Structure 1
């Protein structure tokens, strides 16, 4: 609603419900009716709707902080940490911009300036999720990230060890035994990870109270998190009990007999749980100069998945790894043969 209040002066008036639900008046003046209406609309767009905590005048930094504070506690700890790191980077680079200034063009130009596709993908994902929330709260009419160019990332080929390479790996890690300052846990850790298919944090974080030597089982109910120590949770928030093969049971029995009194973890160094960075360094040192330099701790998990899939099937491999779906195991953990060998079956086509 607008009216002339004096020559060449107009006032536009609207009513607005504030965050407490109270009806308030918003006015603006201008030399023309159109100018007054435009100004009142601009003022209105900068105000939060009832029940909201954001407006178009909110900075991206504030929006990101609100989004981070509301992240689900049920997310894996590493996932939460990564979201926070990506949000911090966005705050450093774009945090001073107001939400209304976040056009698709501006965001697309920012993303295009990021060289690494993986970093560009994660920055775009974080922006999308944070601004999705801004849309839900009425601070934005639509999410500008949706109009930016999607990031094309090349799907990594799953690479696992064959049996010959497994034996070579075991030989190489055993070769570190004479190295000073090294406690000798590497061969045993390699065997436990191969024989269980655990993630590094799960395998290195197995506690003696989770081991049943008589039943030959280990219960995976927690994980080691870098710089945070042992956490009573797994990535999928599911506890699973695994029957271990004889070679792993032999490792556990020997380590139990050699463990210090009061030891908490199967794998300890200096009376403390293992550190991922240190373990990664020792593995790299053991494999340096060999044909297996490409191998990481995660490759062992993929090796277990591929081995089980070939012999027992995908369902069993997925169950052993603790995945929520078989598709996850198939797409990200099982190495596929590049050579088709179905000649015998195809012979049936000729009758």
Structure 2
């Protein structure tokens, strides 16, 4: 009769044998995570094989832990978080994403449900936690926590500690969605003209205003890139000699905890690493800057006044003052990205807009980056058929 298979992560009887003078082998059958049973052995010098057996047991325990024997229904959620973090380390997370994960895990998930055992991580428990978190810390935080918890408990499912992921059945965390508002062509022209004049003036203290707010905006209007990506644009990323001129988004400027402002060697998403053909107004602006601006050690096109990386947050503060004076108080740096998405969707289709913005799905573009038109398509001639008279 065939022997019944060992459970996953279990091993059979250990045997010892002296294979050479003073060299002992300990061996046992072990059933791996792929369901295959293998012979595992360790050879160690010794008098009677005890050391070889101890080495084998240590190896078998390590292999058993690697297939989930350390995650059970009695494991606390907080004990699984390090395993989840180990999986994230393989994903090359952006620094800001990692900081956000850390904040939500350390300040909300661990204090809120970290002491629950896996058998206690039920749909009602998770639903109650997320609703409470949404009330106390905001729906956006609750939505982020739900995503992270789904990953943590999904890991528990893969290790056999849960039969299914309870996050699949909790109530959706609904956040209020704002209608997309983008600049029309006429508004963009008026804003650019007004900003050009505004930059030439002085502030209330008689000091010169920032001279390059418009230049940064022109890069965003020419590409659809984000403000951090515009600040990270380097002269080495630009080819003004080609026809048309091009600019490649290769990174972004972020503020990382413990590190300060840094140039991140990839944009927000891998899909955003794109080479853009530049319209003439952006090409001409960059050519002018290439002859006027003093180069800096970072090679960025838009450095700070001190020649260092420029903080996107500082740019936003400067822009907030300008927009108040110009009467465009609703316009943020992200509005320019939405304006690019809207004009391309209306002229070339949603696929073209999604490709320009580096989105993996047109649904993202349509929902968050294209202003909805309130005018229905002109089908008056077709619909006239309902009101036609006579036999025709």
Give TM class, smaller chain.
Answer: 0.7 to 0.9
Alignment of 1:141-220 (within 5 A): 141-171=163-193, 173-174=195-196, 175-177=198-200, 178-179=202-203, 180=207, 183-215=210-242, 216-220=245-249
The answer for the alignment partner of 1:232 in structure 2 is 265
Larger Rg over CA atoms: 2
The answer for the alignment partner of 2:11 in structure 1 is 22
How much has 1:289 moved relative to structure 2?
6.5
1:51 to 57, 67, 79: 67
How much has 1:345 moved relative to structure 2?
4.5
The answer for the alignment partner of 1:349 in structure 2 is 385
Write the distance in 2 (CA, Å) between the matches of 1:163 and 1:308: 12
Answering whether residue 78 of structure 2 is matched by residue 61 of structure 1, we say yes
1:50–1:308 CA distance, 2 compared to 1 (3 A): closer
How much has 1:291 moved relative to structure 2?
4.7
Write the distance in 2 (CA, Å) between the matches of 1:85 and 1:172: 41
1:149–1:321 CA distance, 2 compared to 1 (3 A): closer
Paired residues in the alignment total 313
Could you tell me which runs of 5 or more consecutive residues in structure 2 were left unpaired when the two chains were aligned. 1-5, 14-63
SS in 1 for 2:263: strand
- After superposition, give the CA deviation of every residue in 1:282-314 in whole Å (9 maximum; x if it has no partner): 122222366532222111101011112222333
1:265 to 270, 295, 300: 300
Write the distance in 1 (CA, Å) between the matches of 2:165 and 2:296: 55
Give the TM-score normalised by structure 1.
Answer: 0.79
SS in 2 for 1:70: helix
Give the TM-score normalised by structure 2.
Answer: 0.71
Write the distance in 2 (CA, Å) between the matches of 1:328 and 1:147: 23
The answer for the alignment partner of 1:275 in structure 2 is 311
SS in 1 for 2:281: helix
How much has 1:173 moved relative to structure 2?
4.0
Query: What is the alpha-carbon root mean square deviation over aligned residues?
Result: 2.8
Write the distance in 2 (CA, Å) between the matches of 1:76 and 1:345: 53
Greater RCO, 1 or 2 (C-alpha within 8 Å, sep 6+): 1
Q: Is the 8 A contact 2:191 2:326 kept in 1?
A: no
How much has 1:108 moved relative to structure 2?
2.1
Could you tell me which runs of 5 or more consecutive residues in structure 1 were left unpaired when the two chains were aligned. 1-15, 25-47
The answer for the alignment partner of 2:110 in structure 1 is 91
The answer for the alignment partner of 2:56 in structure 1 is none
The answer for the alignment partner of 1:318 in structure 2 is 354
